Structure 1
Amino acid sequence: MSINISSHFVFELDEPTDCLMQFEAASLPEQEISSVRTLLDPSDTAVRVPAQDGIGERIWMRAKGRVEVSYEAEATIARIAPDMSSLDQLPTHMLPGEAVQYLLDSRYCRADQFQHFVASRFGSSTGGKRVAAIRDWVAHNFSYVPGSSNVQTDAAESFITRQGICRDYAHMVVALARASTIPARYVAGYAPGVSPQDFHALAEVFLADPNNAGGGTWQLVDATGMASAMDTVKIGVGRDAADVSFLTTFGPNRFLESRVSVHGN
């Protein structure tokens, strides 16, 4: 599937400030990125560094005043997405080192708070069946309400209010999967079915690879129902939203404007 992407955002800084950005689609075996056009104004201090797990790149910039960022690209997706319910759970001693960090608590996803809940609510299932049950539970019990959460809202608060946006849905799935001893990480991406259109967030879980005995595979999960594995273009991954924000400034900023457009062909 081919996906056309366009994003644009503007912010302002009163003093020279370090900024870390991650908004470009990652070049991966499962998604080929072409026709790339990135414009940074100003651009004289921009430096690229590898992002979390080597998926995508982050851009460092030190700037003052108005900063304008524009990005356009085309992505062709060739991702394998087996039926989630058919995938087994890997024993913890067989998890590769890079997956273990995604069992641990993070800023927005305190999995230890949900261990009793997942045992009582999903105790009859394991592996992909449990992930599918978690996805369906979040989809059924949460309401998508723009403006109902903020940058401080974590999975525990979302669990209480049962509402939020894609970021909150992803944090909830990640926390419940980790509480089930299934590695889970947060994914930032672009997807054509998102409404209102914006940078999208979903979860990704590490389960047994049906085509590689003893191996594992990362599988996308979107409890909002707005995106699927076959139309999501990954930007980056992290423990939660703090790791993969499209903009992090190490000082005050005024965010002025943001536009995202994603279309599938």
Structure 2
Amino acid sequence: MRIEVDVAMEYELGAERVVFLTLEAAATTGQRIAESRLQIAGARLARIPGESGIGERVAARLPEARMRLDYHARIDVTRRERALEGLTAAPWHDLPAEAMTYLRPSRFCQSDLFETFAIRHFGRHPGGARVAAIRDWVRSELDYVPGASSAATTAIDTFTTRQGVCRDYAHMLCALCRATDIPARYVSVYAPGVEPPDFHAVAQVWLEDGWHIVDPTGMAGAESAVVIAVGRDAYDTAFMENRGAARMLSQSVSVRRG
């Protein structure tokens, strides 16, 4: 499936005029970059590999306080949706190194605190059926409420309030999967049909032969999601990082089928 992405943003920065940006579609398994163009007025750019070698961070050094950015890309998504229930899970001691990191608790996914709950509620299901049960539980138990959470909200907070946005849904799913020995990582994506249109968060779980996309909000499918970056949680995949003040003047994200 051909997906087209356009991002435009303008920010007013403080004294620190260096920002790290993670917003370009990644050249990774299941998708091919047909066209990619990132323009940041007057900036000097350097590139750094993303977490787990997926995608890149762009370090932009700006000549003035205002950052004006435009990004356009066309991506061919070649992966197919697979039924989770038919996929097997390896025991934790047989997992490859690339998956082991995503079994551990992280800042926003305190999986060690969910072990008793997760095993009691989902432990009877094998492999991918367990992930499907967790996905369905998160989707049914949480209410999608913009503004109900913040950048500091953790999976424990979301479990308590039962409200949040895509970020919180993904954290919740990752924490519960890890608590039952299924590796899960947080993934930032572009996807058509996301409301409101924005950077979107899903998860990937390690089952059988590799990573599989799971979206507990139900807004994005594996066959149309464009992976930007992966990490332990949202801390690893922020679309913009800087060490000083940053005030948003405008921002728009457009994702559509090509």
Bin for the TM-score computed over the shorter chain: over 0.9
Match of 1:93 in 2: 93
How much does 1:43 deviate?
Answer: 1.4
Say which is worse superposed, 124-133 or 7-16, in terms of deviation.
Answer: 7-16
Match of 2:229 in 1: 236
Q: Is the 8 A contact 2:81 2:221 kept in 1?
A: no
Say which is worse superposed, 142-151 or 248-257, in terms of deviation.
Answer: 248-257
Q: Is the 8 A contact 2:43 2:61 kept in 1?
A: no
Classify the secondary structure of the residue corresponding to 2:88: coil
**Tell me, which stretches of 5 or more residues in structure 2 are unaligned?**
none
> Of 230, 248, 255, which aligns to 1:255?
248
Say which is worse superposed, 240-249 or 56-65, in terms of deviation.
Answer: 56-65
Deviations 1:65-123 (A, max 9, x none): 00111101111111143211111111112111121110111110000111011111112
The percentage of aligned residue pairs carrying the same residue is: 45
- Aligned pair count? 257
Q: Is the 8 A contact 2:198 2:252 kept in 1?
A: yes
How much does 1:127 deviate?
Answer: 1.2
How much does 1:62 deviate?
Answer: 3.0
TM-score, normalised to structure 1, is 0.94
Classify the secondary structure of the residue corresponding to 2:16: strand
Match of 1:48 in 2: 47
How much does 1:29 deviate?
Answer: 3.6
Determine whether 1:57 maps to 2:56: yes
Match of 2:207 in 1: 207
Q: Is the 8 A contact 2:16 2:242 kept in 1?
A: no
TM-score, normalised to structure 2, is 0.96
Match of 2:174 in 1: 174
Partner Cα distance (1:227, 1:137) in 2: 17
Partner Cα distance (1:25, 1:221) in 2: 18
How much does 1:162 deviate?
Answer: 0.6
How much does 1:255 deviate?
Answer: 2.1
Q: Is the 8 A contact 1:8 1:258 kept in 2?
A: yes
Deviations 1:243-262 (A, max 9, x none): 01100112221122210001
Partner Cα distance (2:170, 2:112) in 1: 17
**Tell me, which stretches of 5 or more residues in structure 1 are unaligned?**
210-216
Partner Cα distance (1:17, 1:99) in 2: 36
How much does 1:159 deviate?
Answer: 0.6
